Chain A
Amino acid sequence: MKISKNGTAKSTNDKHTLSVLVSYNLNALLRIIGIFSGKGFEIDSISFGSGKESNLARITITTHGDEQIIEQITKQLHKIIDVVKVNDLTYDSFVERELALIKVNATRSSRSEIMQIAQVFRAKVIDISPQKLAIEVTGNRDKVNAFIGMLDPFGIDEIARTGSVALKREFEGTV
């Protein structure tokens, strides 16, 4: 166990969420992915979309590894010419969301139960047919995983997940 700068204990093989600001071009994205494949780092999820300024994009990467590996990943990302900023959000307070679309088998008898579960997760039914329901859920990774776990017994047909997007929280006081 290592202690991070704000005093919380972190295991050495923790999940890390990196927020990377880059020039908006395909070469930059490919170079970032290339760092992971070429140097043997892991990507758990990656999302890429335009940022505040139209010529910049924010890439959110979730990865895992010990402190030294994460430090190397951060440094290697920094080395890419088009990378403006790399933030490891893990030690800060941050908001993280992932969106998943899940198509689940739903018979007449199971449909209402599924919709109740969806309600608990504040998920939305976005498509309905006699045999299936399509549901949209938003939340952090754990919540999305839990929701998928709940739907699994009904028989999941297809899933599309975005991977995490994240931003640092501004208010850092104790809640």
Chain B
Amino acid sequence: MKSIDSAETDDATPSSETAFLNGAEILIRTLKDINVDTIFGYPGGAVLPVYDELFDVHDLNHVLIRHEQAGSHAADGYARATGKPGVVLVTSGPGGTNTVTGIATAAMDSIPMVVFTGQVPTNMIGNDAFQEADIVGITRPITKQNYLVKDVNNLERVIREAFHVATSGRPGPVLVDLPKDMIQNKCQYSGQKEVSIPSYKPTREGHSTQISKAAHLLSNAKKPLIYAGGGVVLGEAWKELTDMAERLNIPVTTTLMGLGGFPEGKPQSLGMLGMHGTYYANMATTECDVLLAVGARFDDRVTGRLDGFSPNSKKIHIDIDPSNIGKNVPVDVPIVGDVKKVLPAIDRQAQKPAIDDWWDTINTWKKEHPLIIPESSDTIKPQLMVQRISEVTNGEAIVVTDVGQHQMWAAQHYTFNHPQSFLSSGGLGTMGYGFPAAMGAALGCPDRPVVCITGDGGFQMTIYELATAVEYEIPIKIAIMNNNCLGMVRQWQELFYNKRYSHSILKKGNPDFVKLAESYGAAGFRASNPKEMDSVLEQAMEINDRPVVMDFVVEEFENCYPMVPSGAALNEMVEGEE
């Protein structure tokens, strides 16, 4: 083990000037070689050698976030919007622990991300050194894989492995812990691009017998339904899904994570299913006779009470992760594989089923139980707010949300026609995710409008990132659905806890969001009625050199419907107040 001192005096006679590099140089060179263009980071003692190296690097954007949690969310947003892995660079100890929420968020939603953390030098590990934390131990349950680099000769291979693991199979976050001496010591840079992990070979092609069975079931179905999850978006299989559903004319419902994986403008779309899904999607799920689950994981927010979930259907489940299959719901035809490869294989063999009666039933449900936007001329109904944003952006924006009522309303009322356009913490339900993730998305997709639909609660969890958004002139539109309370908590307290609003009202402490935005140098607007809202939206869309904060003061005690109460079956929805 080399000490720091010996590493510093080590640069006497490198054999080849270009290839004999210190760990920091190897890190940056490898990142560039893997085509990383953006890093979200925050400096500190243990990673100073990397930051010193970055000082002279101009073809790799380093975005200085203001808190490492936001950095991991921003990298996550970047990954979801671009399909490329998000990259985070932070220091040891608190730098690493602050990224934990973002890593867990990415893990739950299978988002490719590589987090580099500084670490105290190898000879000080275990000594309770300043800013030491066992980040590999802390993040083990929330990473797909993680590494502590103990020899600089392994550094380049580990970095390449980390990206390979993060982006292949079922994607997920990977953490690489870099003791300070590992980024100071020198070794040969190989440029060896190939990665081989003998124990890691994800299955991509589906089993042909299973594919034939699936095609047969779909061809002969009377009431088929496709239930598409985040795997369609992550697996970039939206075209394959759309082609198949249109050719076979089979209805499609998507999960929260699958939104945009099938265009909602198409007649086959039933919108989202689940706890706050549409009436017709939930009824179709309950009544169907063949359910094709594509890259979905039968989450409890989707299924409702398990014994009432799609009780009469034969279930086909395509997933790249075998552990998702049969985990919550028994499956008749399991297909382990990449949805992008399996869907066309099924499509080639399936015949268009005769399902006119099924469509009549579905269309009747659609007509009789549409999503409702309540009328109001003097107050802003939250549903209307989302609908107006959808109209103003022509359904072309990347929509990023926090968690709660506004998230569900955004999912219901924004018309998603493109994949990688609805970014939301689905699995972990992380408040504070929205705004930094929106920054990451905007930096990854500078040509697309990015709207962060957030709440007054969630926005305040990472509000300090206004500094970053102003510094990098990120023109995201932040639409606060301001009901002065934690809306979803309050809704549950109203419905299930006798209206005892325990610690869910934020009114007294809420800041003046307009002044706050202005103090950072962002634009700030407020609207309290539909007319003002339209004019604010119009002005906001014109601003392209800084973030815009729109404080939409909405109806305070509005509830989000339809709702499948906890413990109820999908067809036992509450559609609204009696």
Task: Tell me the A residues contacting B by CB distance below 8 Å.
Answer: 22-23, 27, 30-31, 34, 38, 68, 71-72, 75-76, 78-79, 81-84
| Residue contact B199 to A31, C-beta cutoff 8 Å | no
Q: Beyond A81-B145, A81-B165, is A27–B140 a contact (Cβ under 8 Å)?
A: yes
| Residue contact A78 to B323, C-beta cutoff 8 Å | yes
Contact of B322 (CB < 8 Å), options: A23, A30, A38, A78: A78
CB distance from A53 to the nearest CB of B (A): 11
Nearest B residue to A30 via CB reads B140
| Residue contact B141 to A27, C-beta cutoff 8 Å | no
Could you tell me the distance between the alpha carbons of A45 and B147 in the complex, rounded to whole angstroms? 27
Q: Beyond A30-B140, A34-B140, is A81–B199 a contact (Cβ under 8 Å)?
A: yes
| Residue contact A75 to B136, C-beta cutoff 8 Å | no
Nearest A residue to B144 via CB reads A81
Could you tell me the distance between the alpha carbons of A38 and B108 in the complex, rounded to whole angstroms? 14
Q: Beyond A27-B136, A27-B146, A34-B141, is A81–B326 a contact (Cβ under 8 Å)?
A: no
| Residue contact B199 to A84, C-beta cutoff 8 Å | yes
* Residue B198 CB within 8 A of the other chain: yes
Nearest B residue to A75 via CB reads B323
* Residue B55 CB within 8 A of the other chain: no
B 309-348 binary contact with A (CB < 8 Å = 1; else 0)? 0000000000001110011000000000000000000000
CB distance from B74 to the nearest CB of A (A): 26
Could you tell me the distance between the alpha carbons of A76 and B145 in the complex, rounded to whole angstroms? 13
| Residue contact A79 to B327, C-beta cutoff 8 Å | no
Q: Beyond A27-B136, A75-B323, A76-B323, is A82–B141 a contact (Cβ under 8 Å)?
A: no
Nearest B residue to A56 via CB reads B199
Could you tell me the distance between the alpha carbons of A22 and B199 in the complex, rounded to whole angstroms? 8
Could you tell me the distance between the alpha carbons of A22 and B145 in the complex, rounded to whole angstroms? 14
Nearest A residue to B199 via CB reads A84
Task: Tell me the B residues contacting A by CB distance below 8 Å.
Answer: 136-137, 140-141, 144-148, 165, 197-200, 321-323, 326-327
Measured between beta carbons, the chain A residues less than 8 angstroms from B137 are: 30
Measured between beta carbons, the chain A residues less than 8 angstroms from B323 are: 72, 75-76, 78-79
Could you tell me the distance between the alpha carbons of A123 and B296 in the complex, rounded to whole angstroms? 54
Could you tell me the distance between the alpha carbons of A75 and B140 in the complex, rounded to whole angstroms? 18
CB distance from A31 to the nearest CB of B (A): 6
Measured between beta carbons, the chain B residues less than 8 angstroms from A71 are: 326
Q: Beyond A27-B136, A30-B140, A34-B140, is A79–B321 a contact (Cβ under 8 Å)?
A: yes
Could you tell me the distance between the alpha carbons of A23 and B327 in the complex, rounded to whole angstroms? 27
Could you tell me the distance between the alpha carbons of A82 and B322 in the complex, rounded to whole angstroms? 17
CB distance from A80 to the nearest CB of B (A): 8
Could you tell me the distance between the alpha carbons of A72 and B140 in the complex, rounded to whole angstroms? 19
Could you tell me the distance between the alpha carbons of A23 and B200 in the complex, rounded to whole angstroms? 11
Could you tell me the distance between the alpha carbons of A22 and B200 in the complex, rounded to whole angstroms? 11
Measured between beta carbons, the chain B residues less than 8 angstroms from A72 are: 323, 327
Overall SS of chain A's interface: helix
| Residue contact B140 to A23, C-beta cutoff 8 Å | no
Measured between beta carbons, the chain A residues less than 8 angstroms from B147 are: 27
| Residue contact A82 to B140, C-beta cutoff 8 Å | no
**Could you write out 29 A-B pairs with CB less than 8 Å apart?**
A22-B199, A23-B199, A27-B140, A27-B146, A27-B147, A27-B148, A30-B137, A30-B140, A34-B140, A38-B141, A68-B326, A71-B326, A72-B327, A75-B322, A75-B323, A76-B323, A78-B322, A79-B321, A79-B322, A79-B323, A81-B144, A81-B145, A81-B165, A81-B197, A81-B199, A81-B200, A83-B199, A84-B198, A84-B199
Please name the 9 residue pairs, one residue from A and one from B, whose CB atoms are nearest each other, closest first.
Answer: A75-B323, A84-B199, A81-B145, A81-B200, A38-B141, A75-B322, A76-B323, A34-B141, A79-B323
Measured between beta carbons, the chain B residues less than 8 angstroms from A30 are: 137, 140
Nearest B residue to A78 via CB reads B322
Could you tell me the distance between the alpha carbons of A79 and B199 in the complex, rounded to whole angstroms? 10
Could you tell me the distance between the alpha carbons of A112 and B339 in the complex, rounded to whole angstroms? 69
Could you tell me the distance between the alpha carbons of A141 and B66 in the complex, rounded to whole angstroms? 57
Measured between beta carbons, the chain B residues less than 8 angstroms from A23 are: 199
Could you tell me the distance between the alpha carbons of A84 and B197 in the complex, rounded to whole angstroms? 10
Residue of A27, A68, A81 most packed against chain B (CB within 10 A): A81
| Residue contact A31 to B140, C-beta cutoff 8 Å | yes
Measured between beta carbons, the chain B residues less than 8 angstroms from A79 are: 321-323
Beyond known contacts A71-B326, A83-B199: 7 more, CB 8 A cutoff:
A27-B136, A30-B140, A72-B323, A76-B323, A78-B322, A79-B322, A81-B144
Measured between beta carbons, the chain B residues less than 8 angstroms from A82 are: 145, 199
Could you tell me the distance between the alpha carbons of A68 and B144 in the complex, rounded to whole angstroms? 23
Could you tell me the distance between the alpha carbons of A79 and B103 in the complex, rounded to whole angstroms? 18
Measured between beta carbons, the chain B residues less than 8 angstroms from A75 are: 322-323
CB distance from B292 to the nearest CB of A (A): 21
Measured between beta carbons, the chain A residues less than 8 angstroms from B136 are: 27
Could you tell me the distance between the alpha carbons of A78 and B321 in the complex, rounded to whole angstroms? 10
Could you tell me the distance between the alpha carbons of A22 and B326 in the complex, rounded to whole angstroms? 25
Measured between beta carbons, the chain A residues less than 8 angstroms from B141 are: 34, 38
Nearest A residue to B148 via CB reads A27
Could you tell me the distance between the alpha carbons of A75 and B319 in the complex, rounded to whole angstroms? 13
Nearest B residue to A31 via CB reads B140
CB distance from A41 to the nearest CB of B (A): 12
Nearest A residue to B136 via CB reads A27
CB distance from B173 to the nearest CB of A (A): 13
Nearest A residue to B325 via CB reads A75
CB distance from B140 to the nearest CB of A (A): 6
Measured between beta carbons, the chain A residues less than 8 angstroms from B322 are: 75, 78-79
CB distance from A57 to the nearest CB of B (A): 12
Residue of A27, A78, A82 most packed against chain B (CB within 10 A): A27
Could you tell me the distance between the alpha carbons of A115 and B136 in the complex, rounded to whole angstroms? 50
CB distance from A26 to the nearest CB of B (A): 10
Measured between beta carbons, the chain B residues less than 8 angstroms from A83 are: 199
Could you tell me the distance between the alpha carbons of A23 and B144 in the complex, rounded to whole angstroms? 16
Residue of B197, B198, B200 most packed against chain A (CB within 10 A): B200
Measured between beta carbons, the chain A residues less than 8 angstroms from B327 are: 72
Could you tell me the distance between the alpha carbons of A23 and B147 in the complex, rounded to whole angstroms? 13
Measured between beta carbons, the chain A residues less than 8 angstroms from B144 are: 81
Measured between beta carbons, the chain A residues less than 8 angstroms from B321 are: 79
Could you tell me the distance between the alpha carbons of A79 and B145 in the complex, rounded to whole angstroms? 10
Nearest A residue to B324 via CB reads A75
Could you tell me the distance between the alpha carbons of A11 and B58 in the complex, rounded to whole angstroms? 64
Measured between beta carbons, the chain B residues less than 8 angstroms from A78 are: 322-323
Could you tell me the distance between the alpha carbons of A81 and B198 in the complex, rounded to whole angstroms? 9
CB distance from A55 to the nearest CB of B (A): 10
Nearest A residue to B174 via CB reads A81
Could you tell me the distance between the alpha carbons of A71 and B331 in the complex, rounded to whole angstroms? 13
Could you tell me the distance between the alpha carbons of A34 and B139 in the complex, rounded to whole angstroms? 11
CB distance from A106 to the nearest CB of B (A): 43
CB distance from A144 to the nearest CB of B (A): 32
Measured between beta carbons, the chain A residues less than 8 angstroms from B197 are: 81
CB distance from B370 to the nearest CB of A (A): 39
Nearest B residue to A23 via CB reads B199
Could you tell me the distance between the alpha carbons of A81 and B162 in the complex, rounded to whole angstroms? 11
